[in-house]
Structure 1
Amino acid sequence: MNDDFDFDLDELAPSDAASEEAAERFWSGDLTALSHHHTSPNGSHSFVVAHDRSVTWGIPGAPQVVAIAVARDLSQFTFTLETSQHATVPFAQNWLAERGCPPDRIALVGNYAKPADDLTLQVEQQIRGSGTRYEVLDTHTSDSDPCETWTLAHDSSGGQAPIRVFQEEVGLDAGTYTMREGAFADEDAARSWLDDRSGPLPEPPEYSDRNGTVVRARVARIALARSAGTSAMSGAGFDTSRTPPTGPAQRPVQGRLL
């Protein structure tokens, strides 16, 4: 981990072997904070969504977003550090929310691609607030054109179509992205669609009412605007100035970093 990326752990010792291993990974990694939240007044907990640029040089298709939860025991001078890899930001935010972080405090800000429409906002909000509803089965990240990321998940509330595909596509020229949800009866059907793309992503049954009219729930406003308390780029000592390495292997942050 470079000197510009600081979790403020210098005076603390890892509370267990897992925390020590995670901290060592970050010291040698290449992270860019996308959003973060620190508790007050004593800063005992930190929640971070970051892009791990080192992944872009590794296994093709691997998830590039990492969720980081830090708990500091200031009385014992120790810390616990948990991490989880995700293909898209909403799933990382969901993981952090399950560990006590308010979802609206880690909303993306800055020079990133914007949601293209209300349905994208709706699907992302659904993921963020889903709790343990979705069990992630597989993911894939593609930085080539078209820039796409998908997450294959089992939906415990999915009824007759419990397998869901969450597909994010980025329009680099427009500076926007879409997130769509597809529903399948089983995993084989979902993987077949991902392999051949023989038709449009099938919408979940709950999107339609009795007349077959597509239902779009009214979208709650998401805290995407900058604020002093939630800015991902201010006052935390995270790496916000460096750029990814140039050359053929350079990749955007899920197509969001413009």
Structure 2
Amino acid sequence: MIFDFRLEGFAAADAESSQTHSGAWDCDITVLSEYHHTTGTDSVSYYAAYDHNALSLAGDEAPQIATLLVTRDLARTIYTMRAEYHASLPFAQAWLVERGCPQDVFEHDSDGTIGPADEATALIGDRIRASASRYSVLDIWTFYDEDSGLARERGTLARDTLAQRNPIRVFLELHGANRTYTVREGAFPDEDTARNWLEDRSTPLPPAPEDHPAADARRERVALARSSGAPRVEACGLDTLPAPSTSTVQQPGPGRSR
């Protein structure tokens, strides 16, 4: 089923937009969320999608979470479409926030998704979503379970531009039982040291040294939500989606650059 990006009657403003739109049509994608739409002279839409063909196109470690930003110039009936791939949903949401999507649209659970296993996981997700351009992503990967085809580990290697020491960060998202996932952040002095740890993993992941003041604010918000009966504030996982397709597609997916 082809998703309707509401571009009927619009022409692509540039070659990148045309290629990204064609890639989205050619790929087997599932739009997970239409997070936000603006109105006015320019209509902007923010999407998160799941690319079922990522494995067959880019190999066993290919990330499958894509974000798409669609801007429609209503006066000139032209559009731009930009896309990016991510290993985890919080980094995908941060990409959208940096491009104008309101952060509060991510504050609610979605039925059929998995949630964070502990408070540390939820806090890291909150911080990544609010990070704007704080983290410069260096590499991403996803390891899959051979039997189910679902993700068992998602990883992001990034540079923390605000860190005073050990600026290279590894975010490991591990998926376990009971429909939960755990995220841990490791800190390294340089990229080579981080990559060596990822290859070896014989020692514990060295923890990030900073204290994060967002923790107290989030605990207060969660406590208030629970006491009022409001929906829990949780990050969402994607492993309840069907196993990725193994069919071969000749064209690259939308905006794949990694």
- Superposition TM-score, scaled by structure 1 size: 0.79
Of Structure 1 and Structure 2, which has the larger fraction of its residues in helix?
2
Q: Structure 1 pair 20/104, CA: closer, same or farther in 2 (3 Å)? A: same
Match of 2:256 in 1: none
Partner SS for 2:210: helix
Shift, 1:192, TM fit: 1.4
Whole-angstrom distance in 2 between the partners of 1:20 and 1:64: 21
2:195 is the alignment partner of 1:194: no
Please give the root-mean-square deviation of Cα atoms over the aligned residues, in Å.
2.9
Whole-angstrom distance in 2 between the partners of 1:129 and 1:14: 31
Q: Structure 1 pair 245/93, CA: closer, same or farther in 2 (3 Å)? A: closer
For 1:56, give the aligned amino acid.
Answer: L
For 1:46, give the aligned amino acid.
Answer: S
Whole-angstrom distance in 2 between the partners of 1:29 and 1:191: 31
Kindly report structure 1 stretches of 4+ aligned residues shifted beyond 4 Å.
Answer: 40-43, 221-226, 242-247
- Superposition TM-score, scaled by structure 2 size: 0.79
Whole-angstrom distance in 1 between the partners of 2:214 and 2:14: 46
Whole-angstrom distance in 2 between the partners of 1:244 and 1:11: 34
Partner SS for 1:50: strand
Q: Which runs of 5+ in 2 are unaligned?
A: 247-258
Give the counterpart of 1:19 among 17, 20, 43: 17
Shift, 1:10, TM fit: 1.2
CA offsets per residue over residues 40-78 of structure 1, 9 Å max, x none? Answer: 455811100111111022311112111100001111111
Match of 2:207 in 1: 203
User: Conserved in 1, the CA contact under 8 Å of 2:44 and 2:72?
Assistant: yes
Whole-angstrom distance in 2 between the partners of 1:71 and 1:119: 35
CA offsets per residue over residues 213-245 of structure 1, 9 Å max, x none? Answer: xx992252489959xxxxx9xxxxxxxxx9456
Equivalent residues, number = 226
For 2:86, give the aligned amino acid.
Answer: H
For 2:165, give the aligned amino acid.
Answer: Q
Match of 1:48 in 2: 47
Partner SS for 1:206: coil
**Identity across aligned pairs (percent)?**
42
* Equivalent residues in 2 for 1:11-160, closer than 5 Å: 11-41=9-39, 44-58=43-57, 59-106=59-106, 109-144=110-145, 147-160=152-165
Q: Structure 1 pair 68/216, CA: closer, same or farther in 2 (3 Å)? A: closer
Match of 2:168 in 1: 163
Whole-angstrom distance in 1 between the partners of 2:245 and 2:14: 37
Match of 1:239 in 2: none
Shift, 1:178, TM fit: 0.9
Whole-angstrom distance in 1 between the partners of 2:194 and 2:245: 36
User: Conserved in 2, the CA contact under 8 Å of 1:36 and 1:46?
Assistant: yes
Whole-angstrom distance in 2 between the partners of 1:152 and 1:24: 29
Shift, 1:37, TM fit: 2.3
Q: Structure 1 pair 225/30, CA: closer, same or farther in 2 (3 Å)? A: farther
Whole-angstrom distance in 2 between the partners of 1:176 and 1:199: 24
For 1:24, give the aligned amino acid.
Answer: S
Q: Bigger CA drift: 137-146 or 150-159?
A: 137-146
Match of 1:255 in 2: none
Choose between structure 1 and 2 for higher RCO, CA contacts under 8 A separated by at least 6 residues: 2
Q: Which runs of 5+ in 1 are unaligned?
A: 209-214, 227-231, 233-241, 248-258
Partner SS for 1:85: strand
Match of 1:6 in 2: 4
Match of 1:180 in 2: 184
For 1:157, give the aligned amino acid.
Answer: L
Whole-angstrom distance in 2 between the partners of 1:192 and 1:32: 35
Partner SS for 1:152: strand
* Equivalent residues in 2 for 1:239-250, closer than 5 Å: 243-244=242-243
For 1:20, give the aligned amino acid.
Answer: S
